[in-house]
Amino acid sequence: MLKQERVAYILAKLSELYPEPPVPLDHKDSYTLLIAVLLSAQCTDERVNLVTPALFARADNPFDMAQLEVDEILSLIRSCGLSPQKSKAISKLSHILLDEHDGEVPEDMEALERLPGVGHKTASVVMSQAFGHPTFAVDTHIHRLAQRWGLSSGKNVVQTEKDLKRLFPRDSWSALHLQIIYYGREYCSARGCDGRVCEICTTCYPNRKSPVINKKP
């Protein structure tokens, strides 16, 4: 299968499996999405969804969050990985939103990336899922599958993002980001598939003899 044939097949298969992929993090607006995505670093979405109800019951907007002490935020998110750093970031970014953005999450990639605790991936998710801009947020799971499917040989998520954006139509990026994540969890996990097990891997590479050794980001 040529690369463009793989691209067309993968796009069709994922659209068939996940025609309207939901955002896996519970949220009600751009601010709660921003906080949930920030919390998801080094933490499962399931854990984040267990943590955020108590956090958002206490503060679900930057004004209320800025009133909380960092230690109180920490106590509410402690079970998430990197919670000490995240609690400080949540407090600081809430103050910045109030001081510099009138309490609103900015609809701007650069402004988002300047917020504490918000990297390119988090900003991309917010721009896509909160504001509807086509972005392709690449995490370690998407990086892994892109290599298994022969879509990128990038040594890091930055190069993988560039490769995937070049291969797939712009209007597919936001959904495709979620579709690949869901497929990776369900069929092509790190341990459950080595590039020779799941349907997409075996269809794209029916004669593959050896496991794919991923280049870690």
From the candidates 28, 86, 99, 139, which is the catalytic residue? 139
CA torsion sign, 166 to 143 to 158 to 178? positive
In the chain, where the domains are located: 3-20+136-204, 30-129
From the candidates 121, 155, 165, 171, which is the catalytic residue? 121
Q: How wide is the angle at C-alpha 125 spanned by C-alphas 82 and 80, nearest 5°?
A: 20
Flag whether pLDDT at 33 surpasses 90.
Answer: yes
Of 42 and 85, the one with more pLDDT: 85
Q: Which of 17-21, 83-87, 213-217 has the lowest mean pLDDT?
A: 213-217
In 3D space, the residue among 200, 196, 161, 187 whose CA is nearest the CA of residue 10 turns out to be 200
144-161 burial, b at 16+ Cβ within 10 Å, e below that, comes to bbbbbbbbbebeebebbb
pLDDT in tens, 4-26: 999 999 999 999 999 999 999 99
Q: Does domain 3-20+136-204 have CATH number 1.10.1670.10?
A: yes
pTM of the model: 0.91
Flag whether pLDDT at 155 surpasses 70.
Answer: yes
Mean pLDDT of all residues in 105-123: 97
Q: Cβ–Cβ contacts within 10 Å for residue 100, how many?
A: 13
State how far the Cα of 119 lies from the Cα of 126, in Å rounded to an integer. 11
What the block records as the tokens of 179 is: 């579709």
Q: Please give the sequence-ordered ranges of beta strands (E in DSSP) within 52-146, or none if there are none.
A: none
State how far the Cα of 22 lies from the Cα of 27, in Å rounded to an integer. 11
Do 177 and 136 touch, CB atoms closer than 8 A?
yes
Homologous superfamily of the 30-129 domain (CATH): Hypothetical protein; domain 2 (1.10.340.30)
Q: Which of 40-44, 71-75, 82-86 has the lowest mean pLDDT?
A: 40-44
Q: How wide is the angle at C-alpha 138 spanned by C-alphas 112 and 134, nearest 5°?
A: 60
Q: How confident is the model at residue 140 (pLDDT cuts 50, 70, 90)?
A: confident
Flag whether pLDDT at 217 surpasses 70.
Answer: no
Mean pLDDT of all residues in 114-132: 96
Flag whether pLDDT at 65 surpasses 70.
Answer: yes
Please confirm, yes or no, whether 163 is among the known catalytic residues. no
What the block records as the tokens of 98 is: 């109030």
Average pLDDT value for the chain? 95
All residues at 6 or more sequence positions from 88 whose CB lies less than 8 Å from its CB, including other chains = 70, 116, 117
Flag whether pLDDT at 215 surpasses 80.
Answer: no
pLDDT on residue 107: 98
The H helix count followed by the E strand count for the chain is 12, 0
Flag whether pLDDT at 214 surpasses 80.
Answer: no
